[in-house]
Amino acid sequence: MIGLNANTALASLMSQEKQYVGFATLPNQVHRKSVKKGFDFTLMVAGESGMGKSTLVNSLFLTDLYKDRKLLNAEERINQTVEIIKHTVDIEEKGVKLKLTIVDTPGFGDAVNNNECWKPITDYIDQQFEQYFRDESGLNRKNIQDNRVHCCLYFIPPFGHGLRPVDVEFMKALHEKVNIIPLIAKADCLTPNEIKKLKDRVREEIDKFGIKVYQFPECDSDEDEEFKQLDKELKECTPFAVIGSNTVVEARGQRVRGRLYPWGIVEGISEEHVDPLAHSAVHSGDDQVGQPDGESHPHPASVHSRCGH
């Protein structure tokens, strides 16, 4: 009887499977295969030293990607050339694997003479394209490691009146090779009005100099109105004003990632809502300032991090 039941179940399963054999199952197959294999994502961060690059990356991915970082003093910086340093972590979320590589560019924009300081960076990007092209033209195409730089977060200092010559030159040198997302660093140093002015200025200059920054894809027409509105607002926020923080503070009874100042707290995101990849410390500039009703604690990266090695 048991055998009969098992056979019947198997037959029914097979007939169900049979119904779905056809090209209609292709998206599912591709989806399953991609999820199983995981994704490679390479994110480059560039901007002068101290702009909060490592803090933002750590807060975006809730991990400490810069454990071994050695901070240089002013004398050492004078002779420092631009370097390319890669940090890699494996992240898994809801069964989807992501191999995240952060390409850091220490030394960029820090020298007395910054002439062509983006050259090692463009060379690196070109090398990755060439390597990928070689691998694709080779015999073993199954396990190609994609090291191409998919996106570059470019940190614009909050202290100036717009883009500096080095910012313009950097973005122009890279815009045909990589998706550039310009960010206004350390936005908590500016008032909402100042942020707005700086954003307008940066947008104007991006247009004026013909810089092609990353354009977010068009929203599907069948999305609901609320989503469309959110998408529109998000696109209008570019260049994003960002605030990084690796500390957890308590504000209005909630644990949030934020920056505790003598005058208040600049809030990030509530710890209850933390979802490493969905969470971003990217703000539109309307950061709330609460009352300091909690202590600052070091961010327990090991607790929240879902990263492997």
Ligand X SMILES: Nc1nc2c(ncn2[C@@H]2O[C@H](COP(=O)(O)OP(=O)(O)OP(=O)(O)O)[C@@H](O)[C@H]2O)c(=O)[nH]1
The edge-to-edge listing of strands for the beta sheet with 39-46 is 85-93, 96-104, 39-46, 151-156, 179-184, 240-242, 282-283
Cα 185 from Cα 240, distance rounded (Å): 9
Q: Is 308 in the site for ligand X (CB under 6 A)?
A: no
Task: Read off φ and ψ for residue 95, nearest 5 degrees.
Answer: 80, -5
Q: Is 152 in the site for ligand X (CB under 6 A)?
A: no
Q: Is 54 in the site for ligand X (CB under 6 A)?
A: yes
Cβ-contact 277, 91 below 8 angstroms: yes
Q: Is 30 in the site for ligand X (CB under 6 A)?
A: no
Cα 238 from Cα 284, distance rounded (Å): 8
Q: Is 153 in the site for ligand X (CB under 6 A)?
A: no
Query: Nearer Cβ to ligand X, position 109 or 162?
Result: 109
Task: Read off φ and ψ for residue 269, nearest 5 degrees.
Answer: -125, 150
Q: Site map for ligand X, 217-246, x if CB under 6 A?
A: --------------------------xx--
Q: Which residues are paired to 103 by β-bridges?
A: 44, 86
Angstrom CA distances, 236 to 162, 195, 230, 302, stand at 17, 13, 10, 35
- Site residues for ligand X, 88-107, by CB under 6 A, read 106
- Residue 261 host element (H or E): strand 254-261
Across the chain, how many H-helices and E-strands are there?
Answer: 9, 12
CB of 76 to ligand X, least distance (A): 11
CB of 246 to ligand X, least distance (A): 8
Query: Nearer Cβ to ligand X, position 103 or 243?
Result: 243
For ligand X, which stretch binds (CB under 6 A), given 52-60, 81-89, 164-172, 291-299? 52-60
Q: Is 9 in the site for ligand X (CB under 6 A)?
A: no
Q: Applying CB under 6 A, what is the total number of residues that bind ligand X? A: 13
Q: Is 268 in the site for ligand X (CB under 6 A)?
A: no
For ligand X, which stretch binds (CB under 6 A), given 51-59, 94-102, 211-219, 282-290? 51-59
Cβ-contact 45, 87 below 8 angstroms: no
Q: Is 186 in the site for ligand X (CB under 6 A)?
A: yes
Residues whose CB falls within 8 Å of the CB of residue 141, separated by 6 or more in sequence, listed in order: 135
Q: Is 160 in the site for ligand X (CB under 6 A)?
A: no
Q: Is 147 in the site for ligand X (CB under 6 A)?
A: no
Q: Is 188 in the site for ligand X (CB under 6 A)?
A: yes
- Which residues in this chain contact ligand X in the complex, by CB under 6 A? 49-55, 106, 186, 188-189, 243-244
